[in-house]
Homo-oligomer: A and B are copies of this chain.
Amino acid sequence: MRISELSRRSGVPVATIKYYLREGLLPKGEATSSTQAVYGETHLRRLRLVRALVEVADAPLAKVRAALEAIDDPDTDVHTLLGSAQHTFHPDVPEPGTDDPGVRDAEERTDALLAELGWRLIPHSPFKSELTRAIAAMGRLGRPVTDEMLRTYAAAARTVAEQDVRALDPAGSREDMVEYAVVVSAVMERALTALRLLAQEDASARLFDRGRCPEKRPPGTRE
């Protein structure tokens, strides 16, 4: 297909495709003249992935290149690929320092929670540090997180993550799987945040606004 059709089928403007070609994020097409080239399905797949990494995950070009190299390296298995894709759209934050006793405590609680859950994780995940940071922040703000709260959050996160992974097509190409992982992680994170705030509004309405329709208050909204 010509670049115009590649643009139509991918939804990516021609000027953006040319930019990706110049940056080496998309391999050149097969030249049919000095000014024209044709592209195939592999270009379309790669283009969709690059767009997901650049536009949805807002990843810097160096990280996009590293993700593409991993895909093109047949020695990299799919699980490792998916993991490195997740890390492309998270800023490199240093692990929290341990001179603060609040952070040390939070780190111990994170480790204890993850050990209890038995999750199989890489040793120095940035998301583990992020969890530690949130637990430490709650303590610093005088609102220490209870174990019950952490367990409830972890169970909800697991339900959602299993749904995410279940929707992955194991027969798809490597690009397709990585693109799916990036898109669903980034975009559905916004959906989950919005749904939580909506559900908080509903839970608060049922707790405080009992006069209006008391029969609708389900058990468990108060202790």
List the interface of chain A (C-beta within 8 A of B): 11, 48, 51-52, 56, 77-79, 82-83, 86, 90, 114, 117-122, 125, 127-128, 130-131, 133-135, 137-138, 140-143, 145-146, 148-150, 152-168, 170, 180-181, 183-185, 187-209, 216, 220-223
Contact = CB atoms under 8 A, between A and B. Distances in A.
A134 B188 contact: yes
B162 A221 contact: yes
Nearest to A195: B157
Contacts of A170: 207, 222
B200 A164 contact: yes
Contact of A153 (B145, B146, B149, B192): B192
Contacts of A141: 48, 51-52, 56, 183, 187
The 9 closest A-B pairs by CB, nearest first: A161-B199, A157-B195, A119-B202, A134-B191, A156-B156, A79-B208, A130-B194, A120-B205, A165-B203
Given A198-B157, A222-B170, A208 B78 contact: yes
Contacts of A140: 11
Contacts of A137: 56, 187, 190
A149 B205 CA distance: 25
Contacts of A48: 141-142
Contacts of A194: 127-128, 130-131, 134
Given A130-B190, A157-B195, 19 more contacts: A56-B141, A79-B208, A83-B201, A86-B197, A127-B198, A130-B193, A134-B190, A138-B187, A143-B187, A149-B188, A153-B191, A154-B199, A157-B198, A158-B199, A158-B203, A160-B196, A162-B221, A181-B200, A192-B193
